[in-house]
Amino acid sequence: MCAFFASIRLSRRTLTRVPWLCLACWIAWTQALAAESVWPAEAERLAALEQRRERVIDEAIARIDPQDPSKGSLFDIAATVSRGENLDWARQRIRALNDPPSGAMFWMHPMVLAMYAGRDSWNEDDWAYFRELWRTYFPYRGDTENHWLMYYASLYLVCEMFPEAGGEAWYNGKSSVENMEEARDYLRDWVRVTTSYGQGEFDSPNYIEEYVRPLSLLAGWAQDPEVRQIGRMMLDYILFDFAVEDLNGLYGGAHSRIYPRYTLEPALTPAASHAWLLFGQGEYQSTAGCLMLALSGYTPPAILDRIARDRETPYVQRELKRTRWRLRHMGPETFEIDGRVTAPVYKYSYVHPDFVLGCCQGGTLQPIQQQTWSLIWREDRPRGISNTMFAVQPHASPEEGTRFFVTDWDTVTDLIARSKVDYTAPDKLEGGSPYEQIFQHEGTLIALYDIPEDSRFPHIHTFFSEDLTARTEAPSGWIFAQGGPIYLAYRPFAPGEWRPVDWTGLLHGGAGGWVSSNFAELAGKSELYHSEARQNGYVLQVASQRDFASFAQFQKAVEALPLKFSLQGTPSVRFTTLDGTQLTATYGQPPEVNGAPVDYADWPLFDGPFGHAERGSEHLEMRYDEARYQLDFTDLTRSSSTPSQQ
């Protein structure tokens, strides 16, 4: 590829001033990239993407019964009014749904979507009705990162529709100009923090949708060039974050937030649905996020498509994230960002053609729904398959709750459990613990635990899927199994017993409504390896079947590896991996690789073969072969696409 097209730069410089030059650069770059690879031509990729978009919209409209205004969502309404169809039904249904309005920011963003998608379909009476809703209904801003993004993106866009409106037109008494300025300030701040220090709600297979939705709104309908570019560039950014840990549409690695059903079947997640729409991976499933992406017209750059689908060579992906903002009980690693307190999260993933194994360092990093580590393996058709493994040290305490929430010590645990019903369950499938320390090198993961006697749940449990085959408990203490194209070996440091998933019956009994829907089928005959030793740990060794002549050969190779551990006093372990790397870990101390401590101080925001970003940089460079795609967030006033000067 010639140097002129070796790099496309999206900063915020001159896209609006020189659109035809930018378009020419874009077309030439994508054509050059396609010509140098075995990938489909760019025209074919875009045509296939458009077909998937149309399918999403078609199926949303097909769900509508025009004779029955008692059924249908705001998203269905948006789909049909975008084509000017079923307008009588849409008018009746949108009024029924808003009698009265509810849902706060979860009402705001689909309402804005319906208004914009049907801008040419709604009549004067409809617009008067919408204006009255926004004047009288006061939506709650929420208390999470995704809540605030949905709130402010929606507020900005609805006020941009009526830029001259005064405070009397809006629920909060502020004018459109005031609301847009407040929203724009928040969006700028969120972009700066995210691209400098990482997300707090990072890498969630389900909550990725709560970021895709508002960013799609901004990318598709914002009139202000800066705000529209925030939507487009942050979609690129968030989706790159997913793409580098994507295995045939499934989101690998550690996750800030995940629900029980998604821990059991990764193919059910919204992330998987987005991968189908944007990259043609996996199997179709309908989600609101996909519909919003389809209606917005957002198109991922060609380089992002390549990154998501190229799994020819194994690689290590390192990422820096942060915890949710902390209010109390700060801890030694905390730091301030403009007076707000957080702590670093160090992510490490090994992305192999056959599996993804990934972790973060452990601790209570994102309350309640954290998944500290996970393994997923490749399945050609993963729906209905529990192609995953993970472990949990169940933890629930008022200290954790009051660290992140303003509620008082005596009530916080109960209030959390009202929303996240399994928070106080001893057999829960997600959550972080202050008593765990996780460490990984490529396909090897080590976990150590030092659980105090007064802990609410002084045990650990490791999930073994019913879709693992040939599970073998060897006399050596290793537990071996096969999953799809991989072999795995799990060596617990303390004895345990097999228990069914959800042995308390909480989720099988339907607690939490949607959270536990279809849970018995999802859990199936999968089991948990339950161990009640308070000083505890394990080693997990994962390898591709292609690297061994047989399962027996893999077992023999693993059992020959040097392993020494101690649970007396402070837990510690020394293990030599299949490739000869010596790993050493002692609870409470930095782990070592071949005698060298892991250097967390210089952990980059992103580092892997497909991209790099330094902490504090507000910049991301995507890479694929010789191609470069730059996202520069240091100037939000303009946008540009320019060739490399290298």
CA–CA distance, 323 with 343 (Å, rounded to integer): 5
The answer to whether residues 546 and 429 belong to one domain is yes
Q: Given 299, 322, 355, which residue is the final one in a domain?
A: 299
The answer to whether residues 142 and 244 belong to one domain is yes
Model pLDDT, residue 513: 87
CA–CA distance, 562 with 541 (Å, rounded to integer): 13
- Tell me how long the chain is: 646
Q: Count the helices and strands in the chain (H runs, E runs).
A: 18, 29
In a domain, 617, yes or no: no
Model pLDDT, residue 25: 41
What are the structure tokens assigned to 636, written together? 């939000």
The CA-atom distances, in angstroms, between 115 and each of 119, 315, 346 are 6, 44, 41
Structural domain span for residue 224: 46-251+259-299
The answer to whether residues 64 and 30 belong to one domain is no
CA–CA distance, 296 with 84 (Å, rounded to integer): 16
What are the structure tokens assigned to 166, written together? 């005064």
Q: Given 270, 299, 328, which residue is the final one in a domain?
A: 299
Model pLDDT, residue 637: 58
The answer to whether residues 590 and 471 belong to one domain is yes
What are the structure tokens assigned to 634, written together? 């240091």
- Under 8 Å CB-to-CB from 248, ≥6 apart: which residues? 275, 281, 282, 311, 378, 379, 380, 382
Number of domains in the chain: 3
- What is the pTM (predicted TM-score) of this model? 0.93
CA–CA distance, 236 with 243 (Å, rounded to integer): 10
Neighbours of 454 (CB within 10 A): 6
The answer to whether 393 and 351 have CB atoms below 8 angstroms apart is no
Query: What CATH code is carried by the domain that includes residue 285?
Result: 1.50.10
The answer to whether residues 220 and 366 belong to one domain is no
The CA-atom distances, in angstroms, between 46 and each of 241, 299, 473 are 22, 8, 50
- Under 8 Å CB-to-CB from 533, ≥6 apart: which residues? 493, 494, 495, 567
In a domain, 318, yes or no: yes
In a domain, 620, yes or no: no
- Three-class secondary structure of residue 498 per DSSP: strand
pLDDT tens, position by position, 457-474: 999 999 999 999 999 999
Helix 176-197 with 145-161: angle, nearest 10 deg: 140
Neighbours of 447 (CB within 10 A): 27
In a domain, 612, yes or no: no
What are the structure tokens assigned to 505, written together? 């019956």
CA–CA distance, 125 with 142 (Å, rounded to integer): 31
The answer to whether residues 136 and 212 belong to one domain is yes
Nearest alpha carbon to residue 519 among 498, 535, 503: 503
Distance of CA 299 to the CA centre of its chain: 19
Nearest alpha carbon to residue 268 among 280, 260, 256, 278: 260
The answer to whether residues 341 and 311 belong to one domain is yes
Using CB atoms within 10 A of its CB, is residue 184 exposed (0-12), middle (13-18) or buried (19+)?
middle
- Three-class secondary structure of residue 368 per DSSP: coil
What are the structure tokens assigned to 184, written together? 């724009």
Nearest alpha carbon to residue 401 among 431, 426, 429: 431
The CA-atom distances, in angstroms, between 485 and each of 245, 283, 354, 515 are 18, 19, 6, 30
Going by the DSSP 8-state scheme, the letter that residue 206 receives in this structure is: T
In a domain, 614, yes or no: no
Which residues of the chain are modeled with pLDDT < 50?
1-9, 11-37, 638-646
In a domain, 549, yes or no: yes
Q: Which residue has the tokens 């992103």?
A: 606
The answer to whether residues 130 and 196 belong to one domain is yes
In a domain, 613, yes or no: no
Query: Phi, psi (5° rounding) for residue 493?
Result: -90, -15
What are the structure tokens assigned to 624, written together? 């694929």
Q: Which helix or strand (DSSP H or E) is residue 627 part of?
A: strand 627-632
Residue 609: cis peptide before it, omega within 30 degrees of 0: no
Q: Which residue has the tokens 């536990």?
A: 516
Model pLDDT, residue 514: 84
Burial 92-126 (b: 16+ CB within 10 A, else e): bbbeebbeebeebbbbbbbbbbbbbbbeebbeeeb
Nearest alpha carbon to residue 416 among 364, 365, 368: 368
> DSSP string covering 139-201, please?
----SSHHHHHHHHHHHHHHHHHSTT--GGGSTTS--HHHHHHHHHHHHHHHHHHHHHH--SS
pLDDT tens, position by position, 179-231: 999 999 999 999 999 999 999 999 999 999 999 999 999 999 999 999 999 99
Nearest alpha carbon to residue 489 among 532, 436, 538: 538
Residue 266: cis peptide before it, omega within 30 degrees of 0: no
Q: What angle do CA 76, 79, 81 make, to 5 degrees?
A: 105
CA–CA distance, 105 with 153 (Å, rounded to integer): 10
The answer to whether 321 and 202 have CB atoms below 8 angstroms apart is yes
In a domain, 616, yes or no: no
The pairing of beta strand 627-632 with beta strand 7-10: parallel
The answer to whether residues 33 and 63 belong to one domain is no
Percent helix / strand / coil, the chain, rounded to 5: 35, 20, 40
- Written as one letter, the residue type at 527 is E
Model pLDDT, residue 507: 96
The answer to whether residues 196 and 77 belong to one domain is yes
CA–CA distance, 228 with 7 (Å, rounded to integer): 22
Distance of CA 284 to the CA centre of its chain: 19
Looking at the DSSP bridge assignments, the partners of residue 641 are: 10
Looking at the DSSP bridge assignments, the partners of residue 623 are: 628
The answer to whether residues 356 and 441 belong to one domain is yes
Q: Kindly provide the residue ranges of all beta strands, DSSP E only, lying in 290-443, ordered along the sequence.
A: 315-322, 335-337, 340-342, 344-352, 355-359, 373-377, 388-392, 436-441
The answer to whether residues 360 and 273 belong to one domain is no
- Three-class secondary structure of residue 443 per DSSP: coil
Q: Kindly provide the residue ranges of all beta strands, DSSP E only, lying in 142-181, ordered along the sequence.
A: none
Model pLDDT, residue 367: 75
The radius of gyration of the chain from alpha carbons, rounded to an integer in Å, stands at: 25
Half-sphere exposure of 285 toward its Cβ, with a 13 Å CA cutoff?
18
